[in-house]
Structures are given as C-alpha cells and as structure tokens.
C-alpha cells in the first residue's frame, strides 16, 4: 500500500498495482526511495483525487481482469465522461499527469485540448483559451503575409 500526500495535505492510499501506473512513483519504488508517505508537492488534493480515479480505472492487472473487466468500448465511454472538465481542472490535470508521468492520461488530456483547437480559426482559438494577441499591428501584418499560404 502506497500513500500519496497532496500539496494541501490530503492523503490517498493506493494499492501498489495502481501506484505503478504513475511512472514517477514507480521509479521511486524501484530505486528504493519510496517512503511510507510520498509527498506530491505540485499537485492539489482534488486534482490528485482525479488522477487516482483515472489510474484505478485503467489499471492493467491480470488479477483484476476477471472481476472488473471493462471492455475497450466501456473504457472509452468512461474516458469521454472523465474529460468533461472545466479548463482550469483540465490544465491542472495535464501538469499533474506530466509530473507524475502517466502516459495514457497525458495523451488523453492532450488529445482533448487538441480537439478544442481543431477546425477553429485563430480568433476562435484565442477566445476559447484567453490567449492574448501580443503582436503589434505591424508584426501581425508581417505574420499574416508570411503565412498567407496557410490561410487560403
């Protein structure tokens, strides 16, 4: 049993078989520097809770396979519910998944953000993500001219 402690002091108990989904934790366990309670200073409690929820669902274990076997289709459906998040949580999760090195979660989240960008014009993308256009009018002119081929 591994215990993780978030930046705001919340603790979470995990079976080892779930903990190894978090590559960072797995490396610590293998290097022998995993103590009884592992601090995760970059990640808030409510984000860490969501990360662990994901890992529990996706754990690859032959023992669990019989009891909680979720078909690929079911897992995909669960994932598409999981990513219905506000932007703040989404980006917090991306940072957490990156720090804790959980490839499948990071891929899922990045794909989600990519889907928000796909098919949109630059103006729309700026609006969705509150990106400030910091080009001067001259610079903007230059960029548009250079990238004309991209905006037929």
Partner 1 sequence: MRTKRHCRYPPPPSDQTPRRIGEDRISALPDALLIHILSYLPGIDAVKTGVLSKRWSRLWTWTPNLVFDQLGEWDEKSNNFVPFIDAFLVLHSSPKIQKLAIDMDYKKRLHLDNSMDEWLRFASGRAAEELNLQLSELGYVHSWDFRGNVERYLLPSFIYSNNSMKRLDMSFIDVQPSDAVSWPILQSLSIRSSLLTESTIQKILLGSPHLKILELNNCEGFDLLRIDSKSLKRLVIHGIWHPSGGIDDVLQISAPYILSLEISGHFYKRRVQLLDVSSLVDVVINLQVWVEDRRCVLVKYSNILREILRKIRHVEKLNVGACSMKANSDIGNSCAPDVLEEKKKCKILSMMKEIFWAFLVSGRKNLILNVEPTRRNISDIACFLQTSPKLESLQINLASFHGTSRKVVGPQKTSSSCLQLQFDPESYATLESYWTPKNRFSKHMLAQLRTVEIVGFNKTHDSNGIVIALVRSLLKHAKVLEKVAICAPEIEYDSDNTLVARKFLTFRRASRKALVQFS
17 to 46, contacts with partner 1 by CB under 8 A? Answer: 41-42
Residue 95 touches partner 1, criterion: CB under 8 A: yes
12 bridge partner residues: 4
Contact 12, 39 (CB under 8 A): no
Using only the alpha carbons of the chain, give its radius of gyration: 20
**Which span (14-22, 56-64, 75-83, 133-141) binds partner 1, by CB under 8 A?**
133-141
CA 12 remoteness from chain centre: 18
Residues touching partner 1, count (CB under 8 A): 40
Whole-angstrom distance, CA of residue 64 vs CA of residue 62: 6
Q: Is residue 18 within 8 Å of 33, Cβ to Cβ? A: no
Nearer to partner 1, 11 or 115 (CB): 115
CA count, 13 A, side-chain hemisphere, 70: 14
- Binding residue (CB under 8 A) for partner 1 from 130, 137, 138, 145: 130
Three-state DSSP at 75 gives helix
| Interaction between residue 7 and partner 1 (CB under 8 A) | yes
Site for partner 1 in 71-90 (CB under 8 A): 87-88
The stretch near partner 1 (CB under 8 A) out of 13-21, 52-60, 76-84, 126-134 is 126-134
Round to whole Å and give the CA distance between 49 and 61: 21
Using CB under 8 A as the binding rule, whether residue 106 contacts partner 1 is answered as yes
- CB 133 to partner 1: min, Å: 6
* Interaction of residue 144 with partner 1, rule CB under 8 A: yes
* 98 part of the interface to partner 1, by CB under 8 A: yes
Selected from 37, 75, 77, 110, the binder of partner 1 by CB under 8 A is 110
Place of tokens 């979720």: 70
């Amino acid at each position: 049993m591994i215990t993780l402690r978030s930046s705001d002091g919340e603790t979470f108990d995990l079976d080892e078989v779930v903990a190894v989904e978090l590559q960072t934790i797995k490396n610590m366990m293998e290097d022998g520097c995993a103590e009884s309670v592992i601090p995760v200073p970059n990640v808030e409690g409510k984000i860490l809770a969501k990360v662990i929820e994901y890992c529990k669902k996706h754990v690859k274990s032959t023992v669990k396979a019989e009891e909680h076997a979720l078909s690929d289709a079911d897992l995909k459906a669960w994932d598409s519910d999981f990513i219905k998040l506000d932007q703040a949580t989404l980006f917090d999760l991306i940072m957490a998944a990156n720090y804790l090195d959980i490839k499948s979660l990071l891929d899922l989240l990045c794909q989600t953000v990519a889907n928000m960008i796909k098919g949109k014009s630059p103006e729309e993308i700026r609006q969705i993500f509150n990106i400030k256009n910091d080009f001067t009018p001259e610079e903007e002119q230059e960029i548009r001219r250079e990238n004309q081929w991209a905006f037929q």
